[in-house]
Every structure is written in C-alpha cells, then in structure tokens.
C-alpha cells in the first residue's frame, strides 16, 4: 500500500481498442470543450456567448439564402479534401492543391472567355470541366514526376508551384485577358459558361457528392486504391510486391490534381463567374485540415467541410450583427480544430492517475480474497 505514494502521478498507456461509441463520446466532448472555451472568450469581450453561437447557426443555416451561401463555401472545401485524400494516403504531402485549383480555373476560364457562344452551353461546360481537370492534373504531375525520378521533396515543390500559377493569373488579369483596359479585372463569363443552379445553388454540389462516392470506392475497393495504401505504408513492400512506385505516384498526383482542377472549374463557373488571382482563396490549405479531421474518410469529409463552412459563414454574420470581429471567429475556429485533432490523443492513449482504481478491479479483489 505504501507503494502507491511512489507511483507516478500520471502515466500514459496505449489503448488497445476503444468502443466506437466511447470514441465518439470523447469527440463530442472535445467539441463541447471548444465551445466552452469559445464562450469564455466571447464573454471576455463583453458579448453574450449563447447569443453569439445562436447567431453563427442562424447566420449560416437560418434562411434559405444563408444555407445556400454556406453550401457554396462547403463545395470547394469538400472537393479539394477529396482531391488530396489519395495523396495523403500515399504519404505524398501535396500541399499544392491551391495551385492545382488555380491551374484548372485558368484552363476553364480560357474556354469560358473565348468559346462562349460558339458552342452550345452544355458542351462548353463539359469542355471547361475536362480541360480544367486536365490542367490541374498536369500541374500536379510536374512535382510528381520529379519526385518519382529524382526523389525531390514534394512538400516544398508543390508549395512553390502555388506561387507560380497565381503569378500567371495576375499576368492574365493585367495583360491578355484584361477586360476594360487598366481595370486589372477579367470580364465576367457569359451566361453559357456558368454552371446551372439546382435548388438555388450551382450544381457543383452534385459533382462533389458524386466525387465523394467515387473516392470512397476508389480508395477502398480498387487495385489502384490498394497500391496507394501499400505505398503509403512502405515503399519497399510496394516494390517487393511488384508495384511501379514512381508510376503510381505520378498517376495518383494526376488524379489528385485533376480533381482540384475540376474544383477550380466549379469555382470560376459556379461561384465567381470570373477568374481572379484569389480564386482558390486558401481552400487548398483548409482542405488539408478537412482531410485530416475526417481521417481521409470521404463521407466524414462532408460533415467536416460542412462544419467549417458553417463557422466561416457564421463568422460573417457575427461580424455584421453582433460586431464581433472576424479575428475572434478565427480564434474560435482554431480552438475547435485544435480540440478535435487533440482528442484523438485521448482515443489512442489513456491517462492513469495515481491511486486510481483500475478497470480490472475484480482481479484485485480475487487476489485479496486469496491472500
């Protein structure tokens, strides 16, 4: 008994496996904790936390218009998270989705600007989508090629590629594609080049939902998905199993870039109806968070991207209605993400405090009875 005072105050033990429902309790608990921390912050600046949270929900889901705007924010997030999922599964750290979106947007914009009116609208949209995907895929293929051939660092490479392509858009804006001279703005697309609306939102949402199903099946049930999983675990094992690692890296990056490029097409054709240098608007980076939080599960990505969209839209309303600055909303979002990622630690490990009763108490009682 005197031993107990000498045991460490707290120690970590890896959990074998946890009940799914228990794991979900911890996840929900972490969200609650984040909300509590957020309310302390809101209260500290003299606002009513409950009203603020109510405003976030009301401002993002309260009316049809608001709901539509929220969905519009969620579409590119979800699409891009789907795009980077196979790369991350392969442990290829593609942080260049931003640039791949932009590459797709440029290609789609070319046809929107110069082919509108010459071909039927439906055909034009298909051409824009296909060329957008191709452009995104090719843009992503460059770092993949260098990785496969000379094992370059893909993280730096994909990141640097972002700045190049955004520079290209700036040049187009001020040069060849400039609308009114001196405006630095590319003109708005013809109606033919804009995605039609379904339930009040451009039909990009249908495309990304189809992609969710596609990506789920692709990653889980196809040979290519299997190759990606094996390479992500061990390149040596993949080689040993006769996989052409370089080829798979290039193919997967092309696919990833193509989906990002398609998202770029959806943004310019569905949401912005024009091209500008902020077309990707950080989506390529936020999507990394979405992909990680959903543990690369495409269906979970729907919920996570939806949640981030609600927070983002809600933050705008918070600013206009309650005069809570956007920076405060950012802190709340950051706290939430931190808690959600951090709670995985408590799902994988347990803390054992000094003197705490073990779960295997019956064994101890048996022992006590024996002695």
Partner 1 sequence: METVCAIEMRNITKRFGSVTANDHIDFSLNHGEILALLGENGSGKTTLMNMLAGIYFPDEGEIFVNGKPASIRSPKDAYDNRIGMIHQHYKLVDVFTAAENIVLGLHEGGKLNIKAANEKVRAICEKYGFDIDPTQKIYDMSVSQKQTVEIIKVLYRGADILILDEPTAVLTPQETDKLFAILRNMKADGKAIVIITHKLHEVMDLSDRVTVLRKGEYIGTVPTSDTSPQALTDMMVGRAVTLNIDRPRYEHPEQRLELQGVTCFDAEGVKKLDNVSFTALGGEILGIAGIAGSGQKELLEAIAGLYPISSGSILYSPEGKAPSNLVGKTPMQIKKAGVAMAFVPEDRLGMGLVGSMGMTGNMMLRSWRKGKGIFVNRKDPNALALQVWKDLEVVTPSTEFPVRRLSGGNVQKVLVGREIASSPSVLMTAYAVRGLDINTSYTIYNLMTEQKMRGTAVLFVGEDLDVLLELCDRILVLCGGKVSGIVDARTASKEEIGLLMTHIGGKEEA
Contacting positions for partner 1 (CB under 8 A): 3, 6-8, 11, 13-17, 221-227, 229-230, 233-234, 236-237, 239-242, 244, 358, 360, 363-364, 367
Residues 6+ apart with CB under 8 A from 121: 191, 192, 193
Cβ proximity to partner 1: between 114 and 247 the closer is 247
Cβ proximity to partner 1: between 14 and 180 the closer is 14
Cβ proximity to partner 1: between 177 and 218 the closer is 218
| Tokens 């049930």 -> residue | 221
Cβ proximity to partner 1: between 19 and 65 the closer is 19
Q: Give the Cα separation of 155 and 167 in Å (integer).
A: 19
In angstroms, the first-to-last Cα distance of the chain is 14
Q: Give the Cα separation of 352 and 367 in Å (integer).
A: 21
Cβ proximity to partner 1: between 180 and 357 the closer is 357
Helix axes 64-89, 204-221, angle to 10 degrees: 30
CB of 14 to partner 1, least distance (A): 7
| Tokens 């074998």 -> residue | 16
CB of 289 to partner 1, least distance (A): 22
Q: Give the Cα separation of 285 and 30 in Å (integer).
A: 23
CB of 224 to partner 1, least distance (A): 7
Cβ proximity to partner 1: between 180 and 370 the closer is 370
CB of 7 to partner 1, least distance (A): 6
Q: Give the Cα separation of 82 and 101 in Å (integer).
A: 13
Q: Give the Cα separation of 341 and 196 in Å (integer).
A: 37
CB of 230 to partner 1, least distance (A): 5
Centre a 10 Å sphere on the Cβ of residue 49 and count the other Cβ atoms it contains: 16
CB of 309 to partner 1, least distance (A): 31
């Amino acid at each position: 008994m005197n031993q107990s005072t000498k045991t460490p105050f707290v120690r970590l033990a890896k959990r074998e496996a946890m009940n799914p429902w228990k794991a979900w309790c911890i996840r929900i608990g972490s969200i609650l904790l984040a909300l509590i921390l957020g309310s302390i912050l809101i209260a500290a600046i003299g606002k009513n936390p409950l009203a603020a949270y109510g405003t976030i929900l009301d401002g993002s889901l309260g009316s049809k218009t608001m709901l539509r705007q929220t969905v519009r924010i969620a579409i590119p997030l979800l699409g891009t998270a789907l795009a980077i999922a196979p790369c991350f599964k392969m442990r290829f750290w593609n942080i260049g989705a931003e640039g791949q979106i932009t590459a797709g947007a440029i290609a789609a914009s070319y046809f929107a600007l110069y082919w509108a009116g010459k071909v039927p609208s439906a055909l034009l949209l298909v051409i824009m989508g296909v060329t957008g995907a191709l452009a995104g895929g090719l843009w992503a293929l460059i770092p993949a090629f260098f990785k496969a051939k000379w094992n370059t660092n893909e993280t730096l490479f994909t990141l640097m590629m972002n700045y190049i392509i955004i520079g290209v858009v700036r040049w187009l804006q001020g040069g060849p594609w400039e609308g009114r001279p001196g405006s630095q703005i590319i003109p708005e697309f013809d109606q033919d080049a804009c995605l039609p609306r379904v339930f009040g939102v451009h039909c990009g949402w249908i495309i990304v939902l189809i992609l969710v199903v596609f990506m789920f099946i692709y990653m889980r049930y196809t040979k290519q998905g299997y190759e990606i999983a094996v390479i992500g675990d061990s390149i040596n094992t993949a080689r040993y199993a006769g996989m052409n690692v370089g080829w798979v890296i290039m193919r997967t990056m092309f696919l990833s870039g193509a989906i990002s490029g398609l998202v770029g097409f959806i943004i310019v054709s569905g949401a912005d109806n024009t091209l500008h240098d902020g077309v990707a608007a950080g989506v390529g980076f936020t999507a990394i968070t979405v992909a990680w939080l959903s543990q690369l599960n495409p269906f979970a990505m729907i919920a996570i991207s939806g949640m981030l969209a609600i927070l983002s839209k809600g933050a705008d309303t918070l600013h206009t209605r309650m005069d809570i600055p956007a920076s405060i909303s950012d802190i709340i979002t950051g706290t939430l993400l931190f808690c959600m990622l951090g709670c995985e630690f408590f799902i994988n490990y347990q803390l054992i405090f000094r003197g705490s009763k073990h779960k295997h108490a019956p064994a101890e009682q048996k022992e006590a009875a024996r002695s």
